[in-house]
Structure 1
Amino acid sequence: MSTATHPRAYATVTGPTATFITPDGHTEPLTATGNDDIRLTIVRRAAEEARRTGTPVELVTAGDRGEHHLLVTTTGEITPVPDTAPSLEPDQPDPESAEADASLTLHLGEEVREPAQEQQSAAQAPAPEPPTRASFITHTTDSARPVTGWRGALSSLGITVKPSPAELARRDREAVVSRHWAGCRTIAVVNGKGGVGKTMTTAMLAAVYARYGGGNVLAWDNNDTRGTLGWRTEQGLYDTTVRDLLPAAPTLLDPAASVSDITRYVHHQCVDRYDVLRSNPELLATDQRIAEAEFDLLMQVAARYYRLVIFDSGNDESAQRWLRMIDSSYQLVIPTLAAPEPAESAALLLDALRQRDERSAALAAHAVVVVTQSEPARRADLDRVVDGFAPHVRAVATIPFDPALKSGPLRFEALRPATRDAWVAVAAHAAEKL
């Protein structure tokens, strides 16, 4: 085996997906896009690490084609690392290893063909193409008939009416929030100030994704100090919290565990179709702090049983569980009000994340800011907050005033139609980059 002289990244291939570990130990899932081979996706990701570190990266891949060591440069050029594995015989290379390494000898975006392959291709005459057979299956798509307003009424009577641009845009947003991803995705709802709508935002996002995408969504109250997500959502059959789930985590991760075993520790929302992992607001913070290792264990459980996790965060941005949540999230959603103090708190949080590390800075740049009107706000106040955040984040969305959001149970169906549409838009913004 070779001695590592460059930063080393690892990739484990499992079909069209892979698990990639960066040289600094961060783990992330990879999925092939379009018609690309998953190995090309891995190489591109390794090249990104090479450019980030400013030096070639040794890529160690494992999968159904064995283990391979490749040196990936900052430009995406690949060369096998010598002496990574013994040959089958002194002068006979492993044919599968040679095939795998040859298929990976490429620049980013273009394949490099071996000279022998070029000569063989030139020598062979092109085979005649077989005649195209007509398919007996007619592939059709929904003609996007309108379903709301006067257009929807006429359509229900059989009168052909094209949907409006607003309805087409609504359908596009609903398609985005209905997506399923290969592997668990995580969204953190964050703002260091209390009372700005973090719990409300968590519940509404979970409801949208679960209703449109078909469940398997977890709203996790990741709060050291009196998290109230459990107060504003339904209680399940068991009076359990995150403190009860923690000692049961090894059992839930056992291969013999069934998907229904998680039910004892979460609270199902019967109408909105998502689950809630509660904290205990009756305990002091000293009695329910969670360390990094404990958070990681809980995250393993969540990733096994859910396709999407939404964190309702606390206000202590120095807590271990808060920092680990940031490190484990794919997307940030930052709620604020159309008022100076909550908006300033959100802006300071973005500033701190930009200075923390490169990954946190990327999360801040791609954050979605949600400006909620807790009372009918003056247009000038709302515009000031929206315009202040717009140049610094990926998207800014507004939620109109709705009495159903002020207090009591959080139910998606209880909202006004305009408010429901606004939350679907927020969820679509957040899902675009997952």
Structure 2
Amino acid sequence: MAIDKSRIREFPPISITISGQDGGELLIGATRQAVTGASELEVRRELLGLVVAHARTGGSPVRVTTRDEEGIGVLLVSPEGEIEEEHSEALAEALEPVPAGAEPPRPTATAHRDERPAARPGAQDEAADSFERIVKDLEEPAAETAEPAAPVLAKPAEEPPSRKPLRDSQSFLAVQDHIEPARKGWRGRLNAFGLSLAPGAAELAERADEHLVSRIYSGPRTIAVVNQKGGASKTPTTVCLAAVFSRAGGSVLAWDNNETTGSLPWRVERGDHDSSALHVLERASRLLSDTARSADINAFVHRQTADRYDALFSDQDIDGEHEITADEVDVLHAVASKYFNLILMDSGNNHRAANWRRMIAHTDQLVVSTTTVEDRVEGARLTLKGLAGRDERTAQLAADAVVIVSQEQPGHEKLAQAHAEKFSPYVREVHVIPFDPALKDGVIHFGALRPGTRRAWLAAAAAVAKGL
């Protein structure tokens, strides 16, 4: 049953502020009560329990303003423990609580509009109806002071309008975009109790990024991760971007395009074979034939079981003498393009090498990775500058590049931001990745990263997807 708004006590004003993962505050008029708990969910339960007790004491529902990192909202709480969302952060400026000691708001001549039946608890129409009523109350003059309407004069008869051609008609179907209720944050936690609250701004932004990385392209797309300086986080960047795209449903290959021995095999899972790019070259004719099967590539790539992408290794023979040529890059790219929708090429440090330059010829989106170490930042700048001066196509790749700055050590937040601002005027987007010990050494599993790190990689991948 919906909460009866006509019974709501408007005074004293009530607000809840969530100040962190384990703390919050309830303000009833001028009375403050701090609450702590083992988790944010526990704090919210305790605060809402106090509000329900206050409503039960007064015998009528109350209105509560909520503030947290996602914004401002308004809840209605009944003495029986029912909770409904009345407004979202879109009305934040209009929902400031009345200061302690102020007079409660007086009813207006248009208050009768609130007497119509309320929507079901948690329904999305509730916020829209409330907003419409507020706007009408602000814009319409009171009924008793309205001027009498002027008499309507009959219009002279007009010729019937001419018919329009049906071929120019547009669809009569209404375009509706029903938004899934919140899954995260305090709204998602309340929805677990049966409510249907809309997602906040942070969750909507995350969903938009997820939508971008989930796109399937009409043909293969190639992303090159570059920096002519070693130790610039090219391999972790390749791995994490591959994980984001593949977890979103793409067919993804992470390819170690090093002319000799690259580091990608050291940071990912190894399959039950030792195949590398050299073995693909030996069987390229078979893999590119019309009779080849989609599963044939599995004998040459290494499956990442949790992150669901495949890795193509560079030659790991320490005594080997073969260096990948430009023509061989063409062959390998043809094979990769047949079996994968998205190709991420991890590169070596020699920007003059034939395989490096041919990689750029196949690139649709350039990603320049760096850490917060100064010489890696300078290497990123020189890589971009070299491409900008080569020819018109590579200059466009450089201008449309996405720069990813990974924090080398804890506490490098300000330094990373300062470096990001240096690149910002020259490229399409710059993204900062926080320090995460799970990226430092060993095999990288995306699920082992901290939530904030995973969110940062999703935003960076969405930026890359915009260029594809």
What is the TM-score of this pair, normalised by structure 2?
0.62
Is 2:387 the partner of 1:353? yes
Q: Alpha-carbon deviation of 1:160?
A: 2.6
Q: In the aligned structure 2, how far is the partner of 1:334 from the partner of 1:263?
A: 29
Q: Alpha-carbon deviation of 1:128?
A: 6.2
| Cα distance change on mapping 1:128 and 1:344 into 2, 3 Å | closer
Match of 2:194 in 1: 158
Q: Alpha-carbon deviation of 1:164?
A: 1.1
Deviations along 1:237-282, one digit per CA (max 9) or x if unpaired, are: 2210001110101101110100000000100111100000001233
Match of 1:281 in 2: 316
Deviations along 1:170-211, one digit per CA (max 9) or x if unpaired, are: 000000000011100000000011111111000000000000
What amino acid is aligned across from residue 384 of structure 2 in structure 1? Answer: L
Match of 1:410 in 2: 444
Q: In the aligned structure 1, how far is the partner of 2:457 from the partner of 2:226?
A: 17
Q: In the aligned structure 1, how far is the partner of 2:312 from the partner of 2:409?
A: 29
Q: Do the aligned partners of 2:213 and 2:462 also contact (CA within 8 Å) in 1?
A: yes
Specify which of 255, 277, 281 is matched with residue 246 of structure 1.
281
Specify which of 192, 196, 215 is matched with residue 232 of structure 2.
196
Q: Do the aligned partners of 1:188 and 1:310 also contact (CA within 8 Å) in 2?
A: yes
Match of 1:334 in 2: 368
Q: In the aligned structure 1, how far is the partner of 2:329 from the partner of 2:189?
A: 51
Aligned-pair identity (%): 45
Q: Do the aligned partners of 1:369 and 1:395 also contact (CA within 8 Å) in 2?
A: yes
Worse-superposed segment, 386-395 or 286-295: 286-295
Q: In the aligned structure 2, how far is the partner of 1:204 from the partner of 1:254?
A: 32
Q: Give the secondary-structure state (helix, strand or coil) at the position aligned to 2:266.
A: coil
Deviations along 1:73-100, one digit per CA (max 9) or x if unpaired, are: xxxxxxxxxxxxxxxxxxxxxxxxxxxx
Residue correspondence of structure 1 range 267-346 to structure 2 within 5 A: 267-283=302-318, 287-346=321-380
| Cα distance change on mapping 1:131 and 1:232 into 2, 3 Å | closer
Question: Larger C-alpha radius of gyration, 1 or 2?
Answer: 2
Q: Give the secondary-structure state (helix, strand or coil) at the position aligned to 2:467.
A: coil
What amino acid is aligned across from residue 235 of structure 2 in structure 1? Answer: T
Q: In the aligned structure 2, how far is the partner of 1:295 from the partner of 1:129?
A: 51
Q: Alpha-carbon deviation of 1:158?
A: 2.0
| Cα distance change on mapping 1:128 and 1:145 into 2, 3 Å | closer
Q: Alpha-carbon deviation of 1:134?
A: 8.3
What amino acid is aligned across from residue 322 of structure 1 in structure 2? Answer: W
Is 2:178 the partner of 1:178? no
What amino acid is aligned across from residue 242 of structure 1 in structure 2? Answer: A
Deviations along 1:203-249, one digit per CA (max 9) or x if unpaired, are: 0000000001x241000000124211111111112210001110101
Is 2:432 the partner of 1:371? no
Q: Do the aligned partners of 1:237 and 1:264 also contact (CA within 8 Å) in 2?
A: no
Q: Alpha-carbon deviation of 1:346?
A: 0.3
Is 2:426 the partner of 1:384? no
Is 2:258 the partner of 1:223? yes
Paired positions, count: 306
Residue correspondence of structure 1 range 7-46 to structure 2 within 5 A: none
Worse-superposed segment, 157-166 or 171-180: 157-166
Worse-superposed segment, 143-152 or 407-416: 143-152
Deviations along 1:300-346, one digit per CA (max 9) or x if unpaired, are: 11110000000000001111110000010001111111121110010
The RMSD of aligned alpha carbons is 2.1
Match of 1:421 in 2: 455
Q: Do the aligned partners of 1:367 and 1:395 also contact (CA within 8 Å) in 2?
A: yes
Q: In the aligned structure 2, how far is the partner of 1:235 from the partner of 1:133?
A: 53
Deviations along 1:145-177, one digit per CA (max 9) or x if unpaired, are: 111121111112221322111110000000000
Match of 2:271 in 1: 236
Q: Do the aligned partners of 2:301 and 2:310 also contact (CA within 8 Å) in 1?
A: yes
Q: In the aligned structure 1, how far is the partner of 2:434 from the partner of 2:171?
A: 55
Q: Do the aligned partners of 1:339 and 1:385 also contact (CA within 8 Å) in 2?
A: no
Match of 1:262 in 2: 297
Q: Do the aligned partners of 2:417 and 2:432 also contact (CA within 8 Å) in 1?
A: no
Q: Give the secondary-structure state (helix, strand or coil) at the position aligned to 2:369.
A: strand
What amino acid is aligned across from residue 426 of structure 2 in structure 1? Answer: H
Q: Do the aligned partners of 1:338 and 1:377 also contact (CA within 8 Å) in 2?
A: no
Is 2:245 the partner of 1:209? yes
The unaligned stretches of length 5 or more in structure 1 are 1-124
Q: Give the secondary-structure state (helix, strand or coil) at the position aligned to 1:300.
A: helix
The unaligned stretches of length 5 or more in structure 2 are 1-162
Q: Do the aligned partners of 2:179 and 2:198 also contact (CA within 8 Å) in 1?
A: no
Q: Alpha-carbon deviation of 1:139?
A: 7.5
Q: Do the aligned partners of 2:307 and 2:446 also contact (CA within 8 Å) in 1?
A: yes
Deviations along 1:377-402, one digit per CA (max 9) or x if unpaired, are: 34442232011100000001000011
What amino acid is aligned across from residue 421 of structure 1 in structure 2? Answer: R
What is the TM-score of this pair, normalised by structure 1?
0.67
